């Protein structure tokens, strides 16, 4: 293991897409941002220096941060933001993880332009549990807004309405030939025939789950959220914001000069507004070497395009997620908690709040949108929760009375009768090493939509999921406690529920939120406090000296 140093200069940069130039916040002027490459066991020291007017913080999405909660990054949760002219060194070690993760800004909507891949190679000398790839290629999906995204979110929050949708999806920052003005901004993957490529897929889009496919090619899924899975083949895959998936792409033995499209576009079950468009990239086979110098011109083969499921293809989504299983081998066991110390039931909802009398609101029937967990719409504090917890100042910053059960009602009935959403900075406190089972129930209060719920600081096992109301008498009997997928972001199905288990072995304050950015902005977020254990390696360490102040 070694220590790797990175320097992230937060800079404004002019970037042009769709014939539209905007000045935007970037890391080192790059869009998407730089790659972090490390091995399992390495320590990372990443100095982030803020040269722009916006406050910033960076989150290392999916990194376990064992005992290093000060480096997790969500603004006002584990740290105050890094202010203009200030810097902060994120210091953490990658423990027991290998695969693909990613980093992104974790304040307001700055992650729309501030994001990049984290590539974690296995320890030196440890092979992949699948065929060694000829080449590895990160493929990061994003969303491009012609407008400044800070203005987009601020407008939505001030009017209580929905934000403007993006103007394009992107692959590695490029919209591709199906958009205006963008043929030259197309991601191209040049391949050799008869080789295996490892594609490291990351969904960094703000507000959409995506289907992805490459024409005439089968993909083998081998890893999700930096955990190996039992390999399976698919033509199409589904990836929610926050999730990462590694797939093997085997190129065909003879396909000189052929060109195949790869495409991604949203999976959307709700009535909400979203960007209904398609990003395309190109897989291009190289010319066979014997023709390179020939004087014959090579006839280009026709272009092949993939077929993606309809926008609302829930059965595809369900089948796909059901196929994801932990590898659960002796070398990579699935340590699923078999007993549960505490069971929690959370409703995750989009709903509305009354419009303040001095305002006109653009939400449904003149209300304002609000989103909640167990009817609490999370109010962001003005100082960091982790500091408040560590220094015993919690009383003035948050309360420890997060409701562990919602007001019960028919969560998926029509019309559902729960519109009572309150605001608060409420946290759920649990002792060190609590074995947690959490049922998350979607409620169809407004246009049903899946919610990709992301938990900081832990991986969890997805032991069950279903449609309708969770039934505590029947459903647990069908839980998979043998090889459930282990991940950090899971889709709570629209009109359904998901059950996860995790061992709370990481002391600190851990954010949990919907990774659809607009839902987070509306309050679909909460935080856990995991108390210290008794042993020295069970305690949150003191904060680093350069931890930003609010």
- Residues lying near ligand C2O in the complex (CB under 6 A) are found at 59, 61, 74, 104, 106, 242, 454, 456, 511, 513, 515
Helix, strand, coil tally for the chain in percent (to 5): 10, 40, 50
Measured at the CA of 96, the angle between CA 90 and CA 102, to 5 degrees, comes to 50
- Taking the least distance from each CB to ligand C2O, the nearer of 454 and 501 is 454
Give dist(CA 538, CA 66) in Å, integer.
Answer: 9
| 397 close to 550: Cβ distance less than 8 angstroms | no
Question: Shortest Cβ contact with ligand C2O: which residue?
Answer: 61
As measured in angstroms, the least distance from the Cβ of 489 to ligand C2O is 7
As measured in angstroms, the least distance from the Cβ of 158 to ligand C2O is 23
- Taking the least distance from each CB to ligand C2O, the nearer of 61 and 390 is 61
As measured in angstroms, the least distance from the Cβ of 214 to ligand C2O is 26
* Two structure tokens written together for 448: 């049903």
As measured in angstroms, the least distance from the Cβ of 456 to ligand C2O is 6
- Taking the least distance from each CB to ligand C2O, the nearer of 98 and 106 is 106
- Taking the least distance from each CB to ligand C2O, the nearer of 106 and 325 is 106
- Taking the least distance from each CB to ligand C2O, the nearer of 38 and 455 is 455
- Taking the least distance from each CB to ligand C2O, the nearer of 62 and 363 is 62
As measured in angstroms, the least distance from the Cβ of 66 to ligand C2O is 17
- Taking the least distance from each CB to ligand C2O, the nearer of 280 and 455 is 455
Q: Which of 99, 262, 285, 302 is nearest to 195 (CA)?
A: 285
As measured in angstroms, the least distance from the Cβ of 61 to ligand C2O is 4
Q: Which of 209, 241, 427, 402 is nearest to 309 (CA)?
A: 209
Give dist(CA 192, CA 470) in Å, integer.
Answer: 49
Give dist(CA 2, CA 146) in Å, integer.
Answer: 41
Q: Which residues on neighbouring strands pair with residue 487, listed in sequence order?
A: 460
* Two structure tokens written together for 473: 């008498």
Q: Which residues on neighbouring strands pair with residue 118, listed in sequence order?
A: 36, 101
As measured in angstroms, the least distance from the Cβ of 241 to ligand C2O is 8
Measured at the CA of 469, the angle between CA 461 and CA 514, to 5 degrees, comes to 50
- 């028919």: which residue's tokens? 410
């Amino acid at each position: 293991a070694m220590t790797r140093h990175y320097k992230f200069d937060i800079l404004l940069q002019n970037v042009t897409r769709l014939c539209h130039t905007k000045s935007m916040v970037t890391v080192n002027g790059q869009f998407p941002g730089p790659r972090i490459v490390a091995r399992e066991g390495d320590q990372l020291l990443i100095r982030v220096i803020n040269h722009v007017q916006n406050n910033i913080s960076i989150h290392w999405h999916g990194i376990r941060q064992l005992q290093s909660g000060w480096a997790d990054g969500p603004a006002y949760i584990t740290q105050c933001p890094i202010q203009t002219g200030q810097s902060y060194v994120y210091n953490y070690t990658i423990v027991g993880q290998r695969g693909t993760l990613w980093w992104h800004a974790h304040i307001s909507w700055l992650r729309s332009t501030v994001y990049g891949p984290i590539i974690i190679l296995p320890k030196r000398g440890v092979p992949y549990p699948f065929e060694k790839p000829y080449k590895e290629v990160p493929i990061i999906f994003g969303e491009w807004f012609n407008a400044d995204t800070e203005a987009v979110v601020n407008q939505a929050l001030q009017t209580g309405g929905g934000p403007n949708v993006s103007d394009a999806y992107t692959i590695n920052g490029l919209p591709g030939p199906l958009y205006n003005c963008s043929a030259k901004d197309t991601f191209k993957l040049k391949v050799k025939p008869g080789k295996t490529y490892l594609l490291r897929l990351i969904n960094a889009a703000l507000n959409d789950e995506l289907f992805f496919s490459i024409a005439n090619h089968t993909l083998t899924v081998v890893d999700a959220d930096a955990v190996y899975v039992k390999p399976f083949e698919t033509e199409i895959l589904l990836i929610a914001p926050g999730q990462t998936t590694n797939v093997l792409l085997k190129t065909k033995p003879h396909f000189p000069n052929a060109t195949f499209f790869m495409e991604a576009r949203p999976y959307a079950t709700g009535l909400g507004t979203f960007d209904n468009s398609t990003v395309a990239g190109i897989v291009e086979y190289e010319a066979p070497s014997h023709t390179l110098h020939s004087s014959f011109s090579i006839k280009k083969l026709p272009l092949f395009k993939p077929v993606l499921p309809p926008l609302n293809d829930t059965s595809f989504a369900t089948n796909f997620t059901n196929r994801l299983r932990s590898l659960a081998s002796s070398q990579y066991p699935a340590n699923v908690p078999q007993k549960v110390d505490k069971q929690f039931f959370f409703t995750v909802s989009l709903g509305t709040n009354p419009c303040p009398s001095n305002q006109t609101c653009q939400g449904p029937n003149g209300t304002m949108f609000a989103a909640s967990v167990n009817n609490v719409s999370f109010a962001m504090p003005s100082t960091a929760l982790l500091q408040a917890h560590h220094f015993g100042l919690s009383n003035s910053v948050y309360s420890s009375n997060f409701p562990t059960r919602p007001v019960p009602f028919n969560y998926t009935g029509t019309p559902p009768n729960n519109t009572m959403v309150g605001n608060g900075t409420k946290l759920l406190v649990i002792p060190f090493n609590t074995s947690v089972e959490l049922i998350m129930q979607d409620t169809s209060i407004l246009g049903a939509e899946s919610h990709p719920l992301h938990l900081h600081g832990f991986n969890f096992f997805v032991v069950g999921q279903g449609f309708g109301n969770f039934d505590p008498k029947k459903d647990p009997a069908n839980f998979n406690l043998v090889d459930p997928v282990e991940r950090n972001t899971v889709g709570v199905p629209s009109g359904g529920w998901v059950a996860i288990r995790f061992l709370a072995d990481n002391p600190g304050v851990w954010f949990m939120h919907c990774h659809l950015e607009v839902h987070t902005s509306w309050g679909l977020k909460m935080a856990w406090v995991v108390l210290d254990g008794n042993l020295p390696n069970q305690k949150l360490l003191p904060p680093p000296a350069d931890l930003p102040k609010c």
